[in-house]
Structure 1
Amino acid sequence: MKSIESSFASQGLRCAGTLLMPAQGERPPVIVMAHGFAGVRAMLLPHAERFVEAGYAVFLFDYRNFGDSEGQPRHWVDPARHLADWEAAIRHVRNLDGLDTGRMVLWGTSLSGGHVVCMAAGGQPVAAVIAGHPLMSGWAAIAAMRPLAILRLTLTGLRDVIGSLVGKPHYLPVVGRPGEHAALSGAEAWAGMERLKAIANVQWENKVLGRVLLKIPHYNPIRVAHKVRVPTLVIAGSNDTIVSAVVARKASRRMRHGEFTLHASDHFQPYYGDYLDENVKVQLAFLHKHVPL
């Protein structure tokens, strides 16, 4: 496997990217991957390396304001900004040498699982899409919370928006234990992220700008799922308390060529151990069917 650092510009800022090339084969199909809510691209390496071992090229990137990418203030999650970064990443990859960019696959997980659906629905000429444990309805995710938690998160978002006007942005933890004030406090959130950090062996700060809490309820990729015309694999977990498997299944049924797989996993387990192996096995079967080498 050959690793090539390959950054690109999005809205005037540098986004860090890494191209992974398989050891054998000429002009392989390429899978474009980006991390989920407030993550970094290194967390995707366990998946990416298995795709490369199977013969596919992979391009990983960090959104602006995250990881090795430029952008201030740091840790700024915003679906609209992420979608702009996706468009820039796709343009960049199409201009890279040695790839069969006519057979490009978009791969996203969690929040970015919704992003790749939006990209395909918007008419990006890609061969296939893989959306793992995707956020298909921000409104559904918020509505599942207790009223007091919703109020606290809303106030946190407003505090950040107001503070940003005077140069004092406000952060909250990305993950917390059940009952704690954090963007993600599902039963698996804290332990799952700790495991993921250890496997990825990366420096990662547990914080995100509060303003995202005002954006998520209005981000609902399920509304454009019917516009997706390419083969799309949607994977969900029956024990996922972060995003709804029911909504993910509903979104897949709206797609012309949607395929749905349900695993007995939570939101983070697909990144490691036996769940990772099972997850990748299903994804490779999908790729071999729709984007064969």
Structure 2
Amino acid sequence: MNSFSRSEATFTSFREQCSAWVYRPTVVSDERMPVVVLANGFGGHKGIRLHAFAERFAAVGLVAVAFDFRSFGASGGTPRHMLSIRGQRADWDAAVGFVRSLDYVDPARVGAWGTSLSGGHVLELAARDRELAAVVAQVPHVSGLAAARSVGLRASARLSRVAIADVVAGVRGTAPVYVPVCGEPGDTAFLTSPDAPAGFERILAASEGPTDDNTVGARAALAMPGFSPNRRARNITCPVLMQIGSQDVVTPVAASRRCAERIARVEVREYDCEHFAPYVDPWFETFVHDQVEFFERTLATSTV
């Protein structure tokens, strides 16, 4: 295993400063290195277990760059915790551009790692960036319609009412209306599957950095049904590892399987677990082992 260092960095995404951690392996070589770019799922920041995955990648000689979306974590942007699909798409593009500019990175060996909502982002990224070398999509959001159906009509109605109130607040210039990321079934929250509260708490307990404000502006609920990366899956040409939890009800399994069928160079692995399982033991080791093996294989060949 390689030793590595972690440093702070920033890059600009449409006038906002995005915060990143750069994990750089300690190697004695002039050869440019492959890199994996990571971002978290719905409402998350890089301290919520991204460090665990990034450290494993750096330990095998891959540069790893974990970043925060605008208005989340240590990145700039106000109001805070406002989730914009368009904004996060721009942040992904800026992050990939940033790592390609690093003088010790091989710009032709850039991999993208995303989980849940960001798992959808990396699939869409691969569909529009034909120079991307490899993608890991962990329990990915692939269909807005399928995700909305899994939430149920009553929960969707509750969220929609609060989301409209948040939109009105934005128009009036008053304080945003926030909703918890996770809640019990029947709560007004974004994720209310039976496994959500306990699963999310396990993740937070193993995380680094602030974990006391896990809310998102309610207006995000209006954007989610329209975000369906599966629509562009046939445009993906790079290798993809799609990791599916067979008991996942947050990002429905059937939709993920259908999406995978549209990707030419896909490896599908299913695990007998729920949506929140990959981040912590006992499932973390299995997921990250498969990811390391995939990235070592797909990012192995130097272009310089």
> Which bin holds the TM-score, normalised by the shorter protein?
over 0.9
For residues 239 and 168 of structure 1, the distance between their equivalents in structure 2, rounded to whole angstroms, comes to 38
What TM-score, normalized by structure 2, do the two folds share? 0.93
Contact 2:150 2:250 in 1 (8 A): no
Where in structure 2 are the equivalents of 1:160-239 lying within 5 Å? 160-166=166-172, 167-204=174-211, 205-239=213-247
- 2:37 is matched with 32
Contact 1:164 1:170 in 2 (8 A): no
1:240 aligns with 2:253: no
Aligned residues: CA RMSD: 1.2
189-198 or 131-140, larger mean C-alpha shift: 189-198
Aligned length: 293
Q: What is the aligned counterpart of 2:79 among 73, 79, 83?
A: 73
Q: Which runs of 4+ in 1 moved over 6 A?
A: none
What TM-score, normalized by structure 1, do the two folds share? 0.97
- TM superposition shift of 1:23: 2.2
- TM superposition shift of 1:124: 4.2
Contact 2:150 2:252 in 1 (8 A): no
Instruction: Name the SS for the 2:188 alignment partner.
Output: coil
- 2:118 is matched with 112
1:3 aligns with 2:9: no
- TM superposition shift of 1:181: 1.2
Instruction: Name the SS for the 1:208 alignment partner.
Output: strand
Sequence identity (%) = 35
Q: What is the aligned counterpart of 2:47 among 26, 33, 42?
A: 42
For residues 246 and 25 of structure 1, the distance between their equivalents in structure 2, rounded to whole angstroms, comes to 46
Residues 245-291 of structure 1: CA deviation (Å, up to 9, x unaligned): 22111111101101111011111111111211100111122223222
Q: What is the aligned counterpart of 2:104 among 88, 98, 116?
A: 98
Gaps of 5+ in 1: none
Q: Which amino acid aligns with 1:48?
A: A
Residues 46-66 of structure 1: CA deviation (Å, up to 9, x unaligned): 111111111111011000000
Instruction: Name the SS for the 1:165 alignment partner.
Output: helix
Pair 124,79 (structure 1): closer, same or farther in 2 beyond 3 Å: farther
- 1:284 is matched with 292
Where in structure 2 are the equivalents of 1:142-161 lying within 5 Å? 142-161=148-167
Contact 1:25 1:55 in 2 (8 A): no
For residues 247 and 51 of structure 1, the distance between their equivalents in structure 2, rounded to whole angstroms, comes to 28
27-36 or 238-247, larger mean C-alpha shift: 238-247
Pair 65,232 (structure 1): closer, same or farther in 2 beyond 3 Å: same
- 1:130 is matched with 136
Contact 1:134 1:243 in 2 (8 A): yes
Contact 1:231 1:290 in 2 (8 A): yes
For residues 203 and 267 of structure 1, the distance between their equivalents in structure 2, rounded to whole angstroms, comes to 22
